[in-house]
């Protein structure tokens, strides 16, 4: 072997030494889809000690959903990881959302999106009922449920307006 080439430095070397199955093995510990997301968060400097922003809260909720809700990330986490994530959710994320609630229909004023709320609320209702019944989360849930109700009301009014306009148009034609 030449001095400039490392042993097993190319795929053909791996195949020659380890056989065809050597190419199908993963190197290092098994990786889950959560790890690339975590690495991107770290690369964007979204560490936990920084002040929370809408983007950091959205990133945490996405990471929380990836870790706990989506089944394909089925590797078991260390119990300390579970405790840290839940503690961060209860002590930092939910109070941040609660303190920034503005009762308005303008989506740009909401601390989180409706989709993020739905994912988080479903998980909390099923797996963490104590947190789900907490006063702060209860207020957040009430706000978003009122938003959904108000959206349905607006849809119903739009439909009624269309029907009225259609009937007026038909009356004018006759």
Q: For 63-89, what is each residue's pLDDT tens digit?
A: 888 777 665 555 666 677 778 888 889
CA pair distance 66, 63, nearest whole angstrom = 5
Instruction: Tell how far CA 84 is from the center of its chain.
Output: 17
Q: Is residue 12 part of a domain?
A: no
pTM value is 0.63
Tell me how crowded residue 143 is: count the other CB atoms within 10 A of its CB. Answer: 19
Q: Which whole number is the average pLDDT over 30-54?
A: 69
pLDDT of residue 49: 58
Q: For 87-120, what is each residue's pLDDT tens digit?
A: 889 999 999 999 999 888 888 888 999 999 999 9
CA pair distance 158, 153, nearest whole angstrom = 9
CA pair distance 123, 137, nearest whole angstrom = 13
Query: How many separate domains does the chain show?
Result: 1
Residue 79: give the domain boundaries.
Answer: 30-95+104-173
Q: Is residue 25 part of a domain?
A: no
CB under 8 Å to 121, separation ≥6 — which residues? 132, 141, 144
């Amino acid at each position: 072997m030449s001095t400039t080439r490392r042993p097993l430095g190319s795929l053909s070397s791996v195949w020659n030494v380890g056989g065809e199955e050597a190419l199908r093995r993963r190197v290092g510990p098994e990786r889950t889809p959560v790890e690339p997301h975590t690495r991107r968060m770290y690369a964007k400097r979204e560490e936990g000690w920084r002040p929370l922003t809408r983007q950091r809260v959205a990133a945490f909720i996405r990471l929380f959903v990836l870790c706990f809700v989506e089944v394909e990330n089925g590797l078991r986490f260390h119990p300390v990881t579970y405790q840290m994530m839940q503690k961060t959710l209860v002590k930092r994320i939910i109070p941040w959302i609660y303190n920034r609630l503005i009762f308005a229909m303008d989506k740009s004023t909401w601390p989180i999106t409706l989709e993020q709320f739905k994912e988080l609320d479903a998980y909390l209702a099923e797996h963490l009922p104590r947190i789900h019944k907490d006063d702060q989360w209860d207020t957040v849930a009430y706000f978003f449920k009122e938003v959904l109700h108000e959206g349905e009301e607006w849809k119903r009014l739009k439909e009624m307006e269309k029907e009225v306009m259609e009937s007026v148009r038909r009356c004018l034609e006759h």
